[in-house]
């Protein structure tokens, strides 16, 4: 890190300034805000390191690295104010050794939107290679007619968790945890840490969590939340033995209907472009369209 750059460790008190930075980047790249304070609040702890760079304009650069138990890589990101692209490399030079310190056995992975040319050039020049592509997909819900509830096959039941008694929470955790073992870069999670993480990420309204059962057996689950751009489907997973029965589609339709009732007129989600379960095709069949492509870079 160049000595003249005012870099320091991030603190919780930086959340507002980081949100301001993210909003500037969102407006430049997406045309509208896409983050809340919950999204950008630093996850201060032994498995997280973060830094900010400041000048007279406030926080102009933010880098972080985190070891999450459910990811088979160390996650990181670098964000800089539009026009301050020279800050990418200094922050990356902090991120890479910190990732090795957190877990030298795992690769470092950083996401970038396809159109983020300056960031991608730095990542590629420093040895990053693309290991995965993702899509942000979205659908606009009309005022009328409101989305219909799904028609369920015999033996299928879908219920929102509401306040969520622990047995229900454990059931939906098991479903999505096991289902996501088939997805790129995901590992098993411990229930308590998973529940804590969902809260940290703003997934606190359990009435927007749905569990599908087949003949009484938990089979599929969906977690959603209200978001700045409308509503966000964070997680959708179906156990392998129950795939091909339309449970994912039914859960999505149930979420559309409830999110519409709550005032959302856009629903967004992120999906692995190479998802092996046919998720992209499912979302397309529901009328969702890809609005943004992301790439995931990996460093040894």
Lowest mean pLDDT among 109-123, 181-195, 245-259: 181-195
Domains of the chain: 7-127 (3.40.630.30), 138-293 (3.40.630.30)
Q: Please check the confidence at residue 18 and state whether its pLDDT lies above 90.
A: yes
139-184 pLDDT, tens per residue? 999 999 999 999 999 999 999 998 768 899 999 999 999 988 777 6
For residue 242, the model assigns a pLDDT of: 96
In SS3 terms, the chain reads as CCCCCCEEECCHHHHHHHHHHHHHHHHHHCCCCCCCHHHHCCCCECCEEEEEEEECCEEEEEEEEEECCCECCEEEEEEECCCCHHHHHHHHHHHHHHHHHHCCCCCEEEEEECCCHHHHHHHHHCCCEEEEEEEEEEEECCCCCCCCCCCCCCCEEEEECCCCCHHHHHHHHHHHHHHHHHCCCECCCCHHHHHHHHHHCCCCCHHHEEEEEECCEEEEEEEEEEECCEEEEEEEEECHHHCCCCHHHHHHHHHHHHHHHCCCCEEEEEEECCCCCCHHHHHHHCCCEEEEEEEEEEEC
Confidence of residue 3 (pLDDT cuts 50, 70, 90): very low
For residue 184, the model assigns a pLDDT of: 61
Confidence of residue 6 (pLDDT cuts 50, 70, 90): confident
For residue 114, the model assigns a pLDDT of: 87
Q: Please check the confidence at residue 2 and state whether its pLDDT lies above 60.
A: no
75-92 pLDDT, tens per residue? 999 999 999 999 999 999
Confidence of residue 1 (pLDDT cuts 50, 70, 90): very low
The mean pLDDT value for 27-39 works out to 83
198-251 pLDDT, tens per residue? 888 888 999 999 999 999 999 999 999 998 778 999 999 999 999 999 999 999
């Amino acid at each position: 890190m160049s000595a003249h750059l005012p870099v320091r460790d991030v603190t919780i008190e930086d959340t507002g300034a980081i949100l301001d930075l993210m909003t500037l980047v969102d407006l430049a790249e997406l045309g509208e805000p896409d983050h809340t304070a919950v999204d950008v609040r630093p996850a201060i702890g032994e498995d997280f390191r973060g830094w900010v760079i400041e000048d007279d304009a406030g926080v102009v650069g933010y880098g972080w690295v985190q070891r999450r138990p459910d990811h088979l890589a160390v996650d990181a990101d670098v964000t800089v104010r539009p026009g301050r692209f020279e800050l990418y490399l200094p922050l990356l030079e902090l991120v890479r050794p910190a990732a090795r310190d957190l877990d030298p056995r795992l690769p470092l992975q950083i996401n970038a939107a396809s159109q983020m040319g300056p960031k991608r050039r730095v990542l590629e020049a420093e040895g990053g290679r693309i290991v995965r592509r993702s899509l942000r997909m979205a659908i606009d819900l009309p005022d009328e007619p409101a989305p219909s509830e799904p028609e369920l096959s015999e033996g299928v039941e879908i219920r929102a968790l509401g306040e969520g008694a622990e047995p229900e929470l454990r059931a939906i955790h098991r479903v999505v945890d096991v289902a996501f073992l088939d997805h790129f870069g995901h590992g098993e999670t411990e229930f308590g840490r998973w529940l804590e993480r969902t809260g940290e990420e703003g997934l606190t309204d359990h009435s927007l969590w749905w569990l599908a059962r087949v003949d009484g057996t938990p089979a599929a689950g969906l977690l959603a939340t209200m978001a700045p751009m409308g509503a966000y489907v964070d997680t959708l997973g179906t156990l392998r033995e129950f795939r091909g029965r339309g449970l994912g589609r039914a859960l999505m339709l149930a979420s559309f209907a409830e999110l519409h009732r709550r005032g959302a007129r856009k629903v967004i989600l992120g999906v692995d472009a190479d998802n092996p379960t046919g998720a992209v095709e499912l979302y397309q069949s529901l009328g969702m369209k890809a609005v943004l492509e992301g790439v995931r870079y990996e460093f040894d």
